[in-house]
Amino acid sequence: MPHRNLDADTMIERCKALTQERIDSLVVAWQRQLDVVLPRDRQVINWAEAQVMSAAGVSFGSHSATHRILTHLDVDEVQSEVEESWEVLEEKQVAKVPVFCYPNGDWSAEVVRSVEAAGYAAATTTEFGYEGCEPSRRFGLRRINIHNDVTYTPKLFAFHLAGYNNAR
86-137 confidence digits (pLDDT tens): 999 999 999 999 999 999 899 999 999 999 999 999 999 988 888 888 988 9
- Residue 118's pLDDT is what? 95
Instruction: Give the domain ranges of the chain.
Output: 1-38, 42-166
Label residue 4 by pLDDT band (50, 70, 90).
low
Label residue 1 by pLDDT band (50, 70, 90).
very low
pTM over 0.85: no
Give one DSSP letter per residue of the chain, joined into a string: ---S---HHHHHHHHTTS-HHHHHHHHHHHHHHHT----SS--SS-HHHHHHHHHTT--EEE--SS---GGGS-HHHHHHHHHHHHHHHHHTT--EEEEEE-GGG---HHHHHHHHHTT-SEEEEEEE----SS-S-TTSEEE----HHHHSSHHHHHHHHTTGGG--
CATH number of the domain at 42-166, out of 3.20.20.370, 1.10.760.10, 1.10.260.40, 3.40.190.10? 3.20.20.370
Among 34-38, 40-44, 101-105, name the most confident range: 101-105
